[in-house]
Structure 1
Amino acid sequence: MIRNVTCIDIETTGFSRTKDRIVEFAAYRVTEEAGVWRYADKIRKLVNPGISIPPEATAVHGITDEMVRVAPPFSEQADCFIPFLSDTILLGYNVKVFDIPFLTAEIERSGLRWPTAPLEVIDPFIIFKKREAPRHDLASAIRFYTGKERRRAHRAMIDVVDLLRVVKTQTMLYPEFRESPDPIVSLIKATGI
């Protein structure tokens, strides 16, 4: 059986899905069949949030007001994003707590609806938190699973590619995934969402 798995990440103006807005959306879709992952498609778009990006947010992702000044707002780009959220297993770091609620709020503000239900999710954050280090931030997960150090400011597509590496390593490292007849189902169950 061939399945779509889409790794998503967003960068935002802050942490409140009611007050803050998305400034970047990235998705990297792979097809998975019998444990083999193949590139299918990707997207990375800057989004004009319609509000100023606070300096503390820029310090995290490096995206400035000037960079998004001419970018279309989310509502004008939703048609580009929604296909990446449809008919797929979503993969993201702390995706259920952060990315999905933010995307849902932006989609609703655009007068649209979340594309599919029920939503299947793989969250490497939950797997990492249950099994490993006391620090569970994305930089720690990337370091632990890939040996790679992250730059201070990061962009969404860099996170997406690193997350795919993290999940592939988790799949090989932990026997419950490595020895599973269907590692994707095991990853979804381990996420508990």
Structure 2
Amino acid sequence: MRQILLDTETTGFDPLTGDRIIEIGAVELVKRRLTNRHYHQYIFPERSVPQEAIEVHGITDDFLKDKPIFSQIADDFMSFVDGAELIIHNAPFDVGFINHELSLLPNNTWGKIEDHCTITDSLRLARKMYPGQRNSLDALCKRLYIDNSNRALHGALLDSEILADVYLAMTGGQTDLMLGHENSAANESINTESIIRKAGNHKLKVLYASEEELGLHRAKLQQIEKKSGQTLDW
């Protein structure tokens, strides 16, 4: 099955109060390797972008004013993801927005996105693997030694690439994560050279116990043996 790592940027948090999608980014995995197929599109939301949202993703009204509306890109987007497993960090958020956009189409022949894709929530997966810990993409990158230093602001395509790193690391595999420079027919032309991947051979520093620490350890073991009345094999 094709796997597609997907992220969106929006004007806010709730589509039911008028918030809309302004960017979609998605990268394709086949057999746990990134292909050079990806989808990236900015979208005019037919409303203004609040300043607090701009401070997160840096996407302004002026930048979006000549971009297509969702109904103009819906078929290309849905054709790209159709039949794939969608892996999304905090999937209910993005799926809710996508389904709301689909519901606004004048003639919605697609229905809901889950009618065409299997949805996997990588945030839910991370919470099972690391209970009680922070599981944002930034926190997971730090935990899994993934370099996301190139990210000053959020961006849907860059976040989907980072999510590919995180997902592969969490599920036990590594791959060459350089995105190809050829766009699919559905893709908007973008500068992929600005997206940097730094695979790491991370050498862990080994700290050996001092003689004093070893002595304290032996004393503790002797104390445990005395209290238990048994000879312990450590």
User: What TM bracket, shorter-length normalisation?
Assistant: 0.7 to 0.9
Please report how far the alpha carbon of residue 17 of structure 1 lies from its aligned counterpart in structure 2 after TM superposition: 1.4
The question of 1:26 aligning with 2:5 is answered: no
> What is the aligned partner in structure 1 of residue 97 from structure 2?
102
> What is the aligned partner in structure 2 of residue 16 from structure 1?
14
Take 2:113 and 2:129, find their aligned partners in 1: how far apart are those partners?
32
> What is the aligned partner in structure 1 of residue 216 from structure 2?
none
Take 2:152 and 2:134, find their aligned partners in 1: how far apart are those partners?
17
> Is this contact kept in 1: 2:98–2:113, CA < 8 A?
no
Please report how far the alpha carbon of residue 136 of structure 1 lies from its aligned counterpart in structure 2 after TM superposition: 2.2
Amino acid in structure 1 at the alignment position of 2:159:
D
- Superposed counterparts of 1:6-155, under 5 Å: 6-18=4-16, 19-32=18-31, 36-39=32-35, 41-95=37-91, 97-110=92-105, 111-112=107-108, 113-114=111-112, 117=115, 119-132=117-130, 134-150=133-149, 151-155=151-155
Amino acid in structure 2 at the alignment position of 1:108:
S
Take 2:11 and 2:167, find their aligned partners in 1: how far apart are those partners?
27
What TM-score comes out, normalization by structure 1 length? 0.79
Take 1:38 and 1:63, find their aligned partners in 2: how far apart are those partners?
27
Please report how far the alpha carbon of residue 84 of structure 1 lies from its aligned counterpart in structure 2 after TM superposition: 2.4
Please report how far the alpha carbon of residue 140 of structure 1 lies from its aligned counterpart in structure 2 after TM superposition: 1.2
Q: State the SS of the aligned residue for 2:13.
A: coil
Aligned residues: 167
> Is this contact kept in 2: 1:5–1:90, CA < 8 A?
yes
Take 1:118 and 1:103, find their aligned partners in 2: how far apart are those partners?
13
Amino acid in structure 2 at the alignment position of 1:22:
I
Q: State the SS of the aligned residue for 1:20.
A: coil
> 1:103–1:115: structure 2 CA closer, same or farther, 3 Å change rule?
closer
Instruction: Provide Cα deviations, 1:121-147, integer angstroms capped at 9, x if missing partner.
Output: 222211211222622222212222243
* Greater Rg over alpha carbons, structure: 2
Unmatched segments (≥5 aa) in structure 1: 174-193
Take 1:61 and 1:40, find their aligned partners in 2: how far apart are those partners?
25
> Is this contact kept in 2: 1:24–1:44, CA < 8 A?
yes
Instruction: Provide Cα deviations, 1:53-83, integer angstroms capped at 9, x if missing partner.
Output: 0111111111111111100111111111111
Please report how far the alpha carbon of residue 37 of structure 1 lies from its aligned counterpart in structure 2 after TM superposition: 2.3
Q: Report the structure, 1 or 2, having the larger strand content.
A: 1
Take 2:5 and 2:51, find their aligned partners in 1: how far apart are those partners?
27
Please report how far the alpha carbon of residue 118 of structure 1 lies from its aligned counterpart in structure 2 after TM superposition: 6.7
Unmatched segments (≥5 aa) in structure 2: 174-234
> 1:64–1:149: structure 2 CA closer, same or farther, 3 Å change rule?
same
Take 1:146 and 1:127, find their aligned partners in 2: how far apart are those partners?
18
Identity of aligned residues (%): 28
Instruction: Provide Cα deviations, 1:60-111, integer angstroms capped at 9, x if missing partner.
Output: 111111111100111111111111231010111011x101110000011013
> Is this contact kept in 2: 1:29–1:84, CA < 8 A?
no
